[in-house]
Structure 1
Amino acid sequence: MHCKTLMEERWMPRDHKCVSSIRRFIRDLTTSEIAELLVSELTTNALLHTSTPAIRITATREDSFLTVEVHDTSDAIPKIAPADPSATAGRGLAIVQNLSQAWGWRPTPTGKAVWFRLLA
């Protein structure tokens, strides 16, 4: 039997200065530096690529996995784009893909949720 438990939820205004508070939120839930990095990548992507007024972050635990979702109001499908080796940006989703056990996105009634899953 799988037991899925919502650990926490946070709302973040559309402000790049608030990304550090989201990293702290995840750090307080888990000691995983990888989770902290990945939530930072997804939150920054939501700020850069959407016009969402506020971002919702949820963390759930199911068996031995932690799943973090970043919700925004855009229905644009996230895609891993090939990054120019000299570029200073554009690698966020590739980092999420390489460091998580799984990642993806799902539509929501108000936009989408991009998520990652880690062994907790």
Structure 2
Amino acid sequence: MASHPVLIQPSGLRFDAPAGTSVLMAAQAAGIKLPSSCRNGTCRACMCLMLEGSVAYAIEWPGLSRDEKEEGWILPCVAQATGALEIQAPGAAPIEPAAAPVRPLTGARR
């Protein structure tokens, strides 16, 4: 399956987005957290600026105005990279592994 390199600015984080996978889901699979909420293109929480590249949308008309699209804004939750992509997403960060829960020591008493 083909994949496309994605560079996130200003963090410099990089990952590959497999064809047919949203940019948001590919980032998460690579251990990168992007701001998001609805994951269906309506809330705009994930909105970021596309600096280079191109995307295709999994839905007919995502929650962006025509002007926003022309300015380069994208919604990574429903956008699929169609080639190398560079985006500006200041809120991007590595996903921190969850700390293991602290459990009290148990055992038989002597």
- The TM-score, its normalising length taken from structure 2, stands at 0.27
Choose between structure 1 and 2: higher strand proportion: 1
Indicate the structure whose relative CO is greater, using CA pairs within 8 Å and at least 6 residues apart: 2
- The TM-score, its normalising length taken from structure 1, stands at 0.25
Choose between structure 1 and 2: higher helix proportion: 1
